Structure 1
Amino acid sequence: MELAFSTERLQVFELLPVANNKQMSRLISVLPSMLCADVVAHLPASFSGVTNPEQAAQWLDDMCACSRVYVLKPTENGQPVGLLIVGNNQADDVHIGYLLAKAHWGKGLAFELLSAFISDYAPTQDWHTLVAGVERSNVSSIRLLEKLGFAQVTGASQEQLQYVLPLTPNTKAQ
């Protein structure tokens, strides 16, 4: 894993195909508990049902095949507490998703993570727009995206809303 960026309380590492076995083993061992029912309730179905290390390893392989996966670790210890997933397409618009282990909800980490991602990391990439999908019932994520300056796109589905944030060289999280 390679350090992509950091915040006051988080280090964000991009999971690379050449990650060492110890790092991968640690992540695979915590993924089943990180992807508990409450955490994946508002996420795509592919995030559900990861209950053991074998399923976690397969899930991680699948994610890495279609996305750039970033592992979130607190600065004070090395235990992974969440993921940031960025669509691995070649388009100017990239889809992002994020999750935190339930024990880390309500502490402002998602805001801290995405603020730094938007202001410090995303402008260094060849991306023009960030796109985030969120279930209508996920009020916390909707508020977070709006606080960060994402705007809702019209024409969303009954269950899913879509938000976009155009990036400029001077993009700063609000």
Structure 2
Amino acid sequence: MYLTATNRLEIRKFESSDVKTLMPILSDPDVMEYSSKGPLSEAQTAEFIDWCTHSYDELGYGQWAVIEKPSGRLIGYCGLSRTTVDGCDEVEIGYRLAKDRWGMGLATDAARAALDYGFEACNLESVVAIVAQNHAASIHILEKLGFSNFIETRYAGWDVRLYRLTRSDWKPD
């Protein structure tokens, strides 16, 4: 069952059977270059999916499977998760796509759908984005989504930009 969709993508909850398909994406050092956890093993990918399913039950949102409509292929994840930044509880947008799907606007599409879900279905007041200061591609995606102001801080041992988008500033397409 799909939570939401765009013209090119379907977004659904992860299932335990997704481990084998997601693992090659999350074990790719290029995909995970800016992840505080680095590339994941198969067991770590299974733990990630388990964490996602608990988040759905507990919070009503989480990181979701991103499915490319034409091929039906799982190409990564995108969604919302709880995190703590500078001692404050936040809801963070996150995304990772297979390297062969970079540069096509798919991460922007998926993130827009996730933000829409967060602001509309979950009534979130704000969502943050945490991005490494030199991650130009992700910064570009965030700017296209309407994230504009940021502060610099430390997160998981990294120097990062912390962006915030409020429900009142959200402009879905």
Shorter-normalised TM range: 0.7 to 0.9
Amino acid in structure 2 at the alignment position of 1:114: A
**2:94 equivalent among 92, 97, 103:** 97
> Could you tell me how far 1:94 is from its partner in structure 2?
1.4
Compute the TM-score of the two structures, normalised by the length of structure 2. 0.79
Alpha-carbon distance, 1:65 to partner? 4.1
The count of residues paired between Structure 1 and Structure 2 equals 160
2:154 aligned with 1:165 = no
Task: Quote the sequence identity (%).
Answer: 26
Q: Which residue of 1 aligns with 2:126?
A: 129
> Under a length normalisation based on structure 1, what TM-score does the superposition of the two structures give?
0.79
**Pairing partner for 1:56 from 38, 45, 65:** 45
Calculate the aligned-residue CA RMSD, in Å: 2.6
| CA spacing shift, 1:43–1:55, aligned 2, 3 Å | closer
- 1:156 maps to 153
1:153–1:164 CA contact under 8 A, matched in 2 = yes
Unaligned runs of 5+ in 1: none
Distance 1:42 1:138 in 2: 8
Q: Is the 8 A contact 1:150 1:164 kept in 2?
A: yes
Q: Displacement of 1:138 after TM fit?
A: 0.5
Q: How far did 1:57 drift?
A: 1.4
- How much has 1:172 moved relative to structure 2? 1.7
Flag structure 2 segments of 5+ consecutive residues without an equivalent: 56-60
Q: 1:144-169, CA deviations, whole angstroms, 9 ceiling, x for partnerless residues?
A: 1112111333242362111110013x
Equivalent residue number for residue 142 of structure 1: 139
| Contact kept? 1:5, 1:11, Cα under 8 Å | yes
Paired amino acid for 1:105? W
- 1:42 lines up with 2:34 in the alignment: yes
Deviation at 1:40, TM superposition (A): 0.5
Is this contact kept in 2: 1:95–1:130, CA < 8 A? yes
1:25-40 to structure 2, matched below 5 A, reads 25=17, 27-35=18-26, 36-40=28-32
CA contact (8 A) 1:69 1:85 kept: yes
Q: Is the 8 A contact 2:149 2:164 kept in 1?
A: yes
Q: State the secondary structure of the residue aligned to 1:112.
A: helix
Larger relative strand fraction: 2
| 1:70 is the counterpart of 2:70 | no
Equivalent-residue separation in structure 1 for 2:95 and 2:111 (angstroms): 9
